[in-house]
Structure 1
Amino acid sequence: MRYLAAILLALVLSACASQVDTGVSEAAGTPGFWWGLWHGFVFPFAWIGSLFDPDIAVYAVPNSGGWYDFGFFLGITVLGGGSWFSSKSRSK
C-alpha cells in the first residue's frame, strides 16, 4: 500500500511540472538528444567551470525539449557514473 501511495504522490507532483515555452525550440541547430547526452556527461566539469565563469552553462536553453532532457538524464546517470559508483559494495 505504501508503494502505491508513493507512486500516486509522484504522479500527482510530476503532473505539475512544465517547461517554459521559450525554453523549447524546433529550429534547425537546436540542441537535441545527442547534445543533451554530451552535456549530461560533462555536467560535473561544466558545473565547476560555471562557478568561476558566468559564460559557462550546464544546460542548453533553448533546446528541443523532451529528447534533450532524456539525453541529459542518460549522460548524467549512465555515462557520468550516476549512482553506480556509490552502489558498489566496498571490500573491507
Structure 2
Amino acid sequence: MRGGGVLVAALVLLSACANQSAAAVEPGAPGFLWGLWHGFIFPWAFIGSLFSSEISIYAVPNSGGWYDFGYFLGVAVLGGGSLFSGKRKG
C-alpha cells in the first residue's frame, strides 16, 4: 500500500497548483493544455474553493471550445479513467 501513499502525497502537492493566478491568464486566454490541467486538478480546486474565494475551478477568460474539451478530458481521466480502478481477481 506504500505506492498508494506516494500517490496521495503527490496529489496533495499538486493541489497547491489549483489556485488560478492572474499571470497564467494575462498573456492569452488559457487553451487546451490549461483546460486539461484545470480538469485534472478539479477535485482539489473544488475543495479549495469552498474555503477561499480566490480559488476558482474554471478559468475565465478561456479560449472556448478547446479549453472546455481539455477540461472535460482532465475531469474524465481522473473521474472515469482507470487510474483508481482495481483489477478483478478471479
The answer to whether structure 1 residue 33 and structure 2 residue 28 are counterparts is no
Superposition deviation, residue 89 in structure 1: 7.0
Normalising to structure 1: TM-score of the pair?
0.59
Residue deviations 1:22-76 (CA, integer Å, cap 9, x gap): xxxxx95110000000000000000000000001000001100000000000001
Normalising to structure 2: TM-score of the pair?
0.60
Identity over the aligned pairs, expressed in percent? 62
Partner of 1:83: 80
Point out where structure 2 has 5 or more consecutive residues left out of the alignment.
Answer: 1-25
Give 1:45-56 correspondences, 5 Å limit.
45-56=44-55
Q: Secondary structure at the match of 2:62?
A: coil
Hey, what's the Cα distance between the residues in 1 that align with 2:35 and 2:72? 8
Structure with larger Rg: 1
Which stretches of structure 1, 4 residues or more, deviate above 2 A after TM superposition? 83-92
Partner of 1:72: 71
Q: How many aligned residue pairs are there? A: 64
